[in-house]
Chains A and B, each alone.
Chain A
Amino acid sequence: MAEDREMALTAMETGQTGKVVQIQGGRGMIGRLEVLGIRIGRELRKVSSQFMRGPVVLEVGNTQVAVGFGMAGKILVEVTE
């Protein structure tokens, strides 16, 4: 069951929350995401997405971050709600 609920940030619905399970990127990308609070195990909420592969806005803690579509596709989450 858990596997069904695991998906990329881009596939999530607006308003859904989930837990970060994997970041498919190098040290640089992981480091940049980390300091904004996006780390494995953290809860996040998808705030919005744009038409035609636009950026995804997500919320972790009290921080909102805009992440480009490609990068968002490399952040895998397990949807919780």
Chain B
Amino acid sequence: MRILLMGNPNVGKSVVFSRLTGVNVIASNYPGTPVEFAKGSMRVGAEKAELVDVPGTYRLEPTSRAEEVAVDMLKEGDVVVNVVDATNLERNLYLTLELLQRKIPMVVALNLWDETKHTGIKINAEELEEILGVPVIPTTAVTGEGIMTLVSRLPEARKGSHEAEDEDLWHRIGEIVGRVQKLTHRHHTLLERFGDASVRPGTGIPIALLVLYLMFKVIRFIGEGLIGYVFEPLFETLWKPLMTKVSLLLGSSGFLHDVLIGKLVEGDIDFVESLGLLTTGLFVPIGMVLPYVFAFYLILGFLEDSGYLPRLAVLVDNIMHRLGLHGLAIIPMLLGIGCNVPGALATRVLETKRERFIAATLMAIAVPCMAQLAMIVGLIGKTGAKGLGLVFGTLFVVWVVLGVLLNRLVKGESPEIFVEIPSYRIPYWNASAKKLWMRIRSFITEAVPFVLVGVFAVNILYALGIIEFVGKIAAPVITGMLGLPKEAVGALIIGFLRKDVAIGMLAPLGLSLSQLVVASVVLAMYFPCVATFAVMAKELGAKDMLKSAGIMVLSALLVGSLLNLIL
């Protein structure tokens, strides 16, 4: 049996989903689309059922890709659990009535039930059940209230008794709401006042700056803490002695030794510089990058689940307009900081091809992913804040200037922002934890193998003399324009595979601070890593990807040369 969880966006559908399913939740893409949804399993009586968290939709006449998917999925479901926001009954009933017209067995979960109390709403659920002809169960998914009843009444799902033509749907809804809902006077809560304050420019901008500042402070605190107190000690005290033995066993040198352990630095294994599969190949993704990825997704998840991001989108809408985008484009940019792959996927929140092209290009060029960031912080951060300031300051200027240029040059139109702003909610830890886990798992299963391939490729390319060869050919550009030693070409080659490994390869070159800055900026800009490239090519199409890549290479060379001249 397949059960579909359907409802408007922001009705707590994911929380209901996480309440109903166990730990085996997988995120997958709907075939042929970039739309992601979660799938899990649950028990209904003695039967095992598949539960699908269908992307949120306001109605069954799709206006976006995600809504198209929602409508498509409807054909493949046996039962629908329609999650309804009890505090917005009228608006939510539109989808409910449309679903009833489709004659699919259904139950309604009247979610956010606890919030109706302090918002002065009284709904007669029994009467609503009678009118709709399907079970209506009040739930508060965050606390678990009503979830047991929902599960036990699932077998009662039925087709309902509602008959209304499209034309008078709103009229019919008006009648229903009039009968089952009573409103009483109420006062605005503190959270609601804060909600208003965070979209008014006078108060909202300071709040936004504070939020972003705290976000980066906390990420750095957690990331550094995990590295310094957990991962580095683990690698140094447990893994290193073992690897040293393996190194001796392999005779401390030779091809196999170099591939597995890498080159010894002053007779010792160096987890960053040795470049062996079992040393650098594991240490970079797990010991240096994972802690930051974890910290980033923890904080991002909080911002997403609390409902802050749409408010941030409203505040930055103005700035984004200058770049040919609108406020919601801040979401792919923020996600891109975690990893450019989900960032590129998230460009689909934008409506037109033009916007998606600009957003994906800007993100791929000027937004370094957490893996790269962690390595830059690890490498340049040691020398103080100046180097980091130069790298990120440059990237920010590139982001703005390039955005303004693209806005002038790229044809097409950019529509305006139009988005619901959900009320602030305290995230439900279980749902947030599941999402965090899904993201961490996809980092481990997707990034770690790529790093290993990258490290392996470095060894092969060195052994075959290819890096030296390309280095000689590219010397005029690398040395002449960018002011880097020709060995740095190795990092640029490997940067196609993994940017974190590439930054790590700069470590043994003994670069000056200015050279490190130039190399970091160029590595961030010149091309996306292969995973991002693949996703972007799919999202933008071959022709636009080619254009985007051209812009990347040119602007990286230009900015790199300029930096080399100035610094």
Q: Tell me which of A4-12, A16-24, A44-52 binds B.
A: A44-52
Q: Given A32-B63, A48-B204, A51-B201: A64 and B318 within 8 A (CB)?
A: no
Check: B196 CB closer than 8 A to any chain A CB: yes
Q: Tell me which of B25-33, B38-46, B139-147, B419-427 binds A.
A: B419-427
Q: Give the Cβ gap from A79 to chain B, nearest Cβ, in Å.
A: 19
Q: Given A36-B420, A51-B318: A61 and B90 within 8 A (CB)?
A: yes
Residues A64 and B421 in contact, CB atoms below 8 Å apart: yes
Residues of A within 8 A of B94 (CB): 34-35
Residues of B within 8 A of A51 (CB): 201, 318
Residues A52 and B418 in contact, CB atoms below 8 Å apart: no
Q: In the complex the two chains form, what is the Cα distance from A39 to B91 in whole Å?
A: 11
Q: In the complex the two chains form, what is the Cα distance from A39 to B173 in whole Å?
A: 13
Q: Give the Cβ gap from A41 to chain B, nearest Cβ, in Å.
A: 10
Q: Give the Cβ gap from A27 to chain B, nearest Cβ, in Å.
A: 10
Residues B314 and A50 in contact, CB atoms below 8 Å apart: yes
Residues B90 and A37 in contact, CB atoms below 8 Å apart: yes
Check: B390 CB closer than 8 A to any chain A CB: no
Q: Give the Cβ gap from A71 to chain B, nearest Cβ, in Å.
A: 6
Q: Give the Cβ gap from B190 to chain A, nearest Cβ, in Å.
A: 16
Q: Given A14-B200, A55-B417, A57-B199: A66 and B310 within 8 A (CB)?
A: yes
Residue among B58, B91, B170, B415 with the highest chain A CB neighbour number at 10 A: B91
Q: In the complex the two chains form, what is the Cα distance from A59 to B386 in whole Å?
A: 45
Q: Give the Cβ gap from A78 to chain B, nearest Cβ, in Å.
A: 20
Number of interface residues of B (CB under 8 A): 35
Residues of A within 8 A of B418 (CB): 32, 65-68, 71
Check: B88 CB closer than 8 A to any chain A CB: yes
Closest to A71 in B: B416
Residues of A within 8 A of B326 (CB): 68
Residues of A within 8 A of B315 (CB): 50
Check: B317 CB closer than 8 A to any chain A CB: yes
Check: B281 CB closer than 8 A to any chain A CB: no
Check: B119 CB closer than 8 A to any chain A CB: yes
Tell me which of B415, B416, B420 contacts A64 (CB under 8 A).
B420
Q: Given A34-B170, A35-B94, A55-B327: A65 and B317 within 8 A (CB)?
A: no
Q: In the complex the two chains form, what is the Cα distance from A55 to B327 in whole Å?
A: 9
Residues of A within 8 A of B201 (CB): 48, 50-51, 54
Check: B195 CB closer than 8 A to any chain A CB: yes
Q: Contact string, B408-449, partner A, CB cutoff 8 A, digits 1/0?
A: 000000011111111100000000000000000000000000
Residues A66 and B421 in contact, CB atoms below 8 Å apart: yes
Q: In the complex the two chains form, what is the Cα distance from A35 to B200 in whole Å?
A: 25
Residues of A within 8 A of B199 (CB): 47-48, 57, 64, 66
Q: In the complex the two chains form, what is the Cα distance from A11 to B58 in whole Å?
A: 28
Closest to A34 in B: B170
Residues of B within 8 A of A66 (CB): 199, 310, 313-314, 317, 327, 417-421
Tell me which of A52, A62, A71 contacts B88 (CB under 8 A).
A62
Residues B420 and A50 in contact, CB atoms below 8 Å apart: no
Q: Given A37-B91, A48-B200, A71-B416: A57 and B423 within 8 A (CB)?
A: no
Q: In the complex the two chains form, what is the Cα distance from A55 to B199 in whole Å?
A: 10
Q: Given A48-B204, A66-B310: A55 and B420 within 8 A (CB)?
A: no
Residue among B88, B119, B422 with the highest chain A CB neighbour number at 10 A: B88
Q: In the complex the two chains form, what is the Cα distance from A70 to B87 in whole Å?
A: 29
Residues of A within 8 A of B200 (CB): 14, 47-48
Identify which of residues 174-232 in chain B touch chain A, using a CB-to-CB cut-off of 8 Å.
195-196, 199-201, 204
Residues A62 and B87 in contact, CB atoms below 8 Å apart: yes
Check: B59 CB closer than 8 A to any chain A CB: yes
Residues B419 and A35 in contact, CB atoms below 8 Å apart: no
Closest to B314 in A: A66
Residues of A within 8 A of B91 (CB): 35-37, 61, 63
Identify which of residues 378-422 in chain B touch chain A, using a CB-to-CB cut-off of 8 Å.
415-422
Residues of B within 8 A of A61 (CB): 88, 90-91
Residues A54 and B318 in contact, CB atoms below 8 Å apart: yes
Q: Given A37-B88, A47-B196, A63-B91: A68 and B416 within 8 A (CB)?
A: yes
Residues A50 and B170 in contact, CB atoms below 8 Å apart: no
Q: Give the Cβ gap from A54 to chain B, nearest Cβ, in Å.
A: 5
Check: B61 CB closer than 8 A to any chain A CB: yes
Q: In the complex the two chains form, what is the Cα distance from A1 to B199 in whole Å?
A: 32
Residues of A within 8 A of B119 (CB): 62
Residues A50 and B318 in contact, CB atoms below 8 Å apart: yes
Q: Contact string, B299-340, partner A, CB cutoff 8 A, digits 1/0?
A: 000000000001001110110000000110000000000000
Q: A31-B61, A35-B58, A53-B318 are in contact. List 7 more A-B contacts (CB 8 A).
A: A48-B199, A48-B314, A50-B201, A51-B318, A65-B420, A66-B327, A66-B417
28 CB contacts below 8 A, A to B, read A31-B63, A32-B418, A37-B88, A37-B91, A47-B200, A48-B196, A48-B201, A48-B314, A50-B314, A51-B201, A54-B201, A55-B317, A57-B314, A57-B421, A61-B90, A61-B91, A62-B87, A62-B119, A63-B91, A63-B420, A64-B421, A64-B423, A65-B418, A66-B314, A66-B327, A67-B418, A68-B326, A71-B416
Binding site for B on A (CB under 8 A): 14, 28, 31-32, 34-37, 39, 47-48, 50-55, 57, 61-71
